[in-house]
Amino acid sequence: MKFKISWPTGIIISIVAFVIFILSFVYKVTFLPQYDHHLVSDDYYKDELNYQQEIDKLNKAAELKQNITLKKIDLGLLISFPSEFEASKIKGIIAFQRLSNDKIDFELPIDLETNDLLIPDEKLVDGRWNVKIEWTVNNNNTYLFKEKIMY
């Protein structure tokens, strides 16, 4: 028995196969948990409204004689704050954000005795991190430091 397909039937079969192929990808991306798609921030639009204030804080930090430095050492990540400020008057928050997995993001409060702060090696997984440090001195000057690091 010979099976014969005419050219209009072949075109219809090809189009149907292509649509099924595309819909299978749409299903995977929408419903399967391993293709989790999320925004960088849950409050994306609210964050966007505060962007000019963020730029002002970044510029203020850039005008300092010495800005924050990050250095990877054997014990973890060493964050050095400017020595021109007294360590006990520096307060704020350090946020670590992992774009590939938001479940391991974390924040730490800044409470210093010296101008150096050590983040232990156990807290950081190898890979790319976005570090955002928002800190104030004497509760009136607010600064912001952002950096992307490979840990």
| 92 and 140 both lie in a single domain | yes
Is the domain of 8 the same as that of 63?
no
Percent of the chain with pLDDT over 90: 43
> Are residues 99 and 128 in contact, defined by beta-carbon separation less than 8 angstroms?
yes
Report the number of distinct structural domains present in the chain: 2
Statement: residue 26 has pLDDT above 70? yes
Phi-psi region of 115 (alpha: psi -120 to 50; beta: other; left: phi over 0): alpha
**Pair (64, 124) in one structural domain:** yes
For 50-59, what is each residue's pLDDT tens digit?
888 888 899 9
Same domain, 76 and 104: yes
Identify the pLDDT of residue 151.
82
Same domain, 30 and 98: no
For 34-46, the pLDDT digits (tens) are 766 665 666 777 7
SS3 118: strand
Domain harbouring 111, CATH code = 2.60.40.10
Q: Are residues 5 and 63 in the same domain?
A: no
Q: Are residues 68 and 135 in the same domain?
A: yes
Tell me: pLDDT of 87 over 80: yes
pTM for this one?
A: 0.68
Question: Are 62 and 13 members of one domain?
Answer: no
* Parent domain of 96: 44-150
63 and 1, same domain (yes or no): no
